[in-house]
Each structure stands twice: as structure tokens, then as C-alpha cells.
Amino acid sequence: MKLIPGGLFWVGSPQGRSAEEEHPRFQIRIQAFCLDETEVTASKYDACVSTEKCTASRSKRITCTSGKENRADHPMNCIDWHQAKAYCEVHGARLPSEVEWEYAASGGSDTQRYSWGNETPEGRTCWKLHRTCPVGSFAAGDFGLRDMTGNVWEWTADAFGPYPWLASASKTRVYRGGSWSRRFDKWMHNRLRNRFGADRHGSHLGFRCALSDPKQACASALEGGGCARDVIAMECPGGKSFNGVRCAPEGAGPCPAGTTEKRGYGCVRTAAGGTSSKDDSLQPEIAEVRVLRSPNFDSDCREYQKSRPTAYRLEGGSHRARNAVGRDRSCKNRDVGVGWNSACCP
């Protein structure tokens, strides 16, 4: 492991840049912690399986690394979030939080785009390939960490939710860092957030473990364990300001009507009985999504998504709503931008 010194850090991207879910940017205090130098390898994970302390991958895809002698030093993939979390716990460690991961990948810098700096990924990481690379194949980035950018995406401990707080109820978990299969550099930058159901897995996705300094207690502990985010400031749009909980107009209460403040989770929706309730309805946002043909990308879909040869552009709504519309049509994203998805469909 490598020691990651603590410090102040702005998480996310400035307003108007990158994906909407990277906003609003917020400042947080990161406590020192340790992080694996490389992603956990297939050989190390398989050794844990042999002791029956870890469970084997459920996938036999050709791009999975477990059990393949010629990929023993490749990152372990094709395991879900629960399996990654269990491996770390067997070794007395844990998965890094989302903000810890971004801080470490950025070298503690508010402006660093990739784990090595701001230069293009070409020649500096494992990407644009058809499978994983041996861990540590490229030069180390800041803090002596390897493969924070590329090779496989990496599971983090946190459920996905809007910034700046942890999600109070979510079945998805955040993963970060880009992978061997990405072809566009915008998928590789440190602040990009991605997520998957905690029980899902893929050959694009692996993990590394973190370790807290036992001498440093949480600044604020959460019920049920874990540390609350120590949010100090937040960049707010449209004349609003951070009131300690959210961006709000001057004089507004801590939380809007229908929500209540929950320490560590911000403003959460409340049901009639006063208990928190997650509203998963996307129907209003889905109604805003427009699906348009984009035949100029058909050739790209035919080459990289042979079973989905027809290109469409999904505009409007939220990123989650566009993804839901795409899934309903059995499409797969080929590219994503602010306010749009480019998808390959059957």
C-alpha cells in the first residue's frame, strides 16, 4: 500500500463542464489513509477463493481474468461489489470511498485531470484494447499509485447519489477510473462518476483496497458505521449559496418542503410518517427524452457493437432517464455528453 496524506480537496467539476452528476463541486477535508499501489490481481483473488474466504467469479467470459495462468498478474475482474468488499475485509481493509478515490487519483490536486497529470492518455495507460493489461505496466502516477487511470474501472465503497452527500438509499455503487475498453479520453478523467448495481459485474470492472489510519477517528461518524463527509464549502449556481446542507436562496430553510435533514446525507425525502423514502420514479424525466436517428454513426456501431448496428441520439431529461430509455430499447451507449447520449441499438 501507499500512504495518501490528507488535505483539503475540491471534489467534482466546475459548473458547465463535464457530466451533470459531477456538479456541484464541493470542498472536503480528506484524512490520511493507505491505498493499494495496484489493482488487486487475479492471482491474489484466486488465492483468497482457494481458502474459501472469498467467492469465485460467476462469469466465464473470455475477458475475465480469474483462473487464467497468462493473466495471473492482470487485475481481478468479473466480480460484484459485495465480492470486492468481502476480499478487502478478509485482508483487514476496506474499499476506498468515492471522494478518497478521486483525491488519490488526482494527486491531491484540484485541477489534475488524470492520475499522472493533464497530458493525453496515449501511451500512459491501458485503454483502447480488447482485454486487461498486467498491473503496473505503465509508470506510476502521484502518490506512487499505478493504474488509477485505465486497465479496469474500480469499485468504491459508496452508493451513488447527487453531490455533495452520500445517498441515503440506493442499490447502485460508484466505480471510477476508466478501463481497457474505453476509446474516448473523456471516459478516463478522474472526476467522471459511473455506477452499477451492487450485485452486477463485468470484465471492465475491478477494485483495490484502502486502509484507515487507526489513530485517526472520523470527524463525524455515521449511524451504522463509516465516516460522514466533512463538507466545508460548495459552488452554487444562480445566486444561491451553500447553507451547510444545500445550495439555496438567501433566507431559505435548511431543506425544501417534503424533505428533512439527515446528518451525513443532506436533505432526504420524507413519507407521511416522517421516515425517509426514496422516490425512484423517472417518468417525468423520461418524458423529456427525445430519441433521434444519427445514421452518421451507424458504421461505428456496426464495427464495435455488431448486434446493435443502428445509431441513435438521446437528448433531454437526466442522464439516468436517458440510460433508462436506452435500456428499454436494448441499446448500449457509444458516447455520452452533457445533455445527450449517443447509443447503438438493435
- pLDDT of 155 > 60? The answer is yes
Phi, psi angles (nearest 5°) of residue 194: -135, 165
- Answer yes or no: do 202 and 311 share one domain: no
Residues of the domain holding 302: 283-345
Are 201 and 64 in contact by the 8 Å Cβ rule? The answer is: no
- Answer yes or no: do 306 and 201 share one domain: no
Q: Is position 155 within any domain? A: yes
Model confidence band, residue 171 (pLDDT cutoffs 50, 70, 90): confident
- Answer yes or no: do 194 and 301 share one domain: no
- pLDDT of 49 > 90? The answer is yes
Mean pLDDT of 274-303: 73
- Answer yes or no: do 151 and 289 share one domain: no
Are 222 and 229 in contact by the 8 Å Cβ rule? The answer is: no
| Predicted confidence (pLDDT) per residue in 101-145, tens digit | 999 999 999 899 999 999 999 999 999 999 999 999 999 999 999
| Predicted confidence (pLDDT) per residue in 202-216, tens digit | 999 999 999 998 777
Q: Is position 218 within any domain? A: no
Q: Is position 250 within any domain? A: no
Q: Is position 258 within any domain? A: no
Of the residues 162, 183, 212, the one at which a domain ends: 212
Q: Is position 149 within any domain? A: yes
CA 151, CA 131: separation in Å to the nearest integer? 8
Model confidence band, residue 281 (pLDDT cutoffs 50, 70, 90): very low
- Answer yes or no: do 191 and 290 share one domain: no
The CATH number given to whatever domain includes residue 158 is 3.90.1580.10
Pairing status of strand 7-11 against strand 26-30: antiparallel
- Answer yes or no: do 33 and 181 share one domain: yes
Mean pLDDT of 300-309: 92
Closest alpha carbon to 339 in 113, 14, 15, 18: 18
Count of domains forming the chain: 2
- Answer yes or no: do 198 and 56 share one domain: yes
CA 135, CA 144: separation in Å to the nearest integer? 13
R_g (Cα) of the chain, nearest Å: 20
- Answer yes or no: do 141 and 287 share one domain: no
- Answer yes or no: do 9 and 140 share one domain: yes
Please name the residues in contact with 11: beta carbons below 8 A apart, sequence gap of 6 or more.
25, 26, 27, 28, 99, 102, 103, 163, 164, 191
pLDDT at position 223 is: 61
| Predicted confidence (pLDDT) per residue in 223-243, tens digit | 656 688 889 999 998 889 999
Are 176 and 12 in contact by the 8 Å Cβ rule? The answer is: no
pLDDT at position 273 is: 40
Q: Is position 35 within any domain? A: yes
Of the residues 212, 227, 255, the one at which a domain ends: 212
Of the residues 163, 195, 212, the one at which a domain ends: 212
Per the listing, cell 476508466 goes with 178
Please report, rounded to a whole number, the percentage of residues in the chain having pLDDT higher than 70.
Answer: 95
Cα distances (Å, whole numbers) of residue 213 to 93, 139, 208? 11, 27, 17
